[in-house]
């Protein structure tokens, strides 16, 4: 049996743009994608902390170091610039893999720059326990 587990998460990123006239997807700074183990065209779940919207889309690369989180196409109707999002990817793992799996959880500051779990804790972004700390 395969289990579906979270493989990577970008916790509390800030929406930097919303492009309605775009085919679709969510553009993510490549540094953030790499840190969370999210691949281009991978299915991601997008949870909007501001309005409670939850949806499924796919990731595309934004330029490395740009700090961009851009919701595109119909997704742009569900998030505005400045909205706080959680982006998560999931994968199917065997029972054995699932018991040893640790998701990649990435924390960011108000500029979508990667910070340590300790820095996130100081900012009040996260409380214990922190995965990968």
pLDDT tens for each residue of 53-100 = 999 999 999 999 999 999 999 999 999 999 999 999 999 999 999 999
**Candidates 17, 58, 70, 74; catalytic one:** 58
**Candidates 22, 25, 66, 133; catalytic one:** 25
- Tell me the pLDDT tens digit for each residue of 3-60: 999 999 999 999 999 999 998 799 999 999 999 999 999 999 999 999 999 999 999 9
Domains of the chain: which residue ranges?
Answer: 2-92+104-122
Does residue 58 carry a catalytic annotation?
A: yes
Does residue 25 carry a catalytic annotation?
A: yes
Phi/psi-derived region of residue 37, left when phi > 0, alpha when psi is between -120 and 50, beta in every other case: left
Output the pTM of the full model.
0.92
Predicted confidence band at 124 (pLDDT cuts at 50, 70, 90)?
A: confident
Domain 2-92+104-122 has CATH 2.40.40.20: yes
């Amino acid at each position: 049996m395969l289990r579906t587990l979270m493989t990577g998460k970008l916790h509390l990123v800030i929406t930097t743009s919303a492009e309605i006239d775009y085919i679709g997807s969510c553009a993510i700074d490549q540094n953030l994608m790499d840190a969370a183990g999210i691949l281009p065209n991978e299915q991601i779940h997008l949870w909007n902390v501001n309005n409670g919207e939850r949806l499924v889309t796919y990731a595309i690369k934004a330029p490395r170091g740009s700090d961009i989180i851009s919701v595109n196409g119909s997704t742009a109707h569900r998030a505005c610039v400045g909205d706080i999002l959680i982006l998560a990817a999931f994968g199917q793992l065997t029972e054995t893999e699932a018991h040893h799996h640790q998701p990649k959880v990435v924390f960011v500051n108000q500029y979508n720059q990667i910070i340590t779990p300790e820095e996130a804790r100081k900012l009040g972004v996260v409380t214990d326990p922190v995965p990968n700390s």
